[in-house]
Amino acid sequence: MKLYHFPSPNPQKVTFALEELGLDCELVPVDLIKREQAGVEFQSMNPFGRVPVLVDGAYINTARPSTSSPLRAIRH
Ligand SMILES: N[C@@H](CCC(=O)N[C@@H](CS)C(=O)NCC(=O)O)C(=O)O
């Protein structure tokens, strides 16, 4: 599982959920200051150009409230 991440509030909430649930996840930094979220590669995952993005195999989740929800399912 990979979390495309920047240390701002919305992605941080997902990193806290991962930590609380004890789930291993590779953090992939996306530098919002350098506008990496506007790049073609990132926008192929999330056309809205926002983090967090959670990728688990072919599954891509881009909406934070629901980014945390499937984590609970994975945990159990
Ligand atoms: N609905 C999303 C919004 C995520 C969001 O707004 N992320 C901000 C960082 S906290 C972002 O990626 N901003 C980049 C931009 O607006 O270019 C969520 O709640 O996770």
pLDDT of the chain along its 76 residues, tens only? 999 999 999 999 999 999 999 999 999 999 999 999 999 999 999 999 999 999 998 878 877 665 555 565 565 4
* Residue 4: per-residue pLDDT: 95
C-alpha dist (Å) from residue 26 to 19, 21, 38: 12, 15, 21
* Atom in ligand 1 nearest the alpha carbon of residue 14: 20
Contact 42, 28 (CB under 8 A): no
Is the CB–ligand 1 distance for residue 8 below 6 Å? yes
- Measure 18 CA to ligand 1 centroid, in angstroms: 18
5 lines ligand 1 (CB under 6 A): no
Report how far residue 45's alpha carbon sits from residue 56's, in angstroms, rounded to the nearest whole number.
12
Please, what CATH class does the domain formed by 2-75 belong to? Answer: alpha beta
The pTM assigned to this predicted structure is 0.85
**CA 23 / ligand 1 centre spacing (Å):** 22
Q: How far apart are CA 70 and CA 73, in angstroms?
A: 5
- Judge whether 2 and 40 are in contact, CB under 8 Å: no
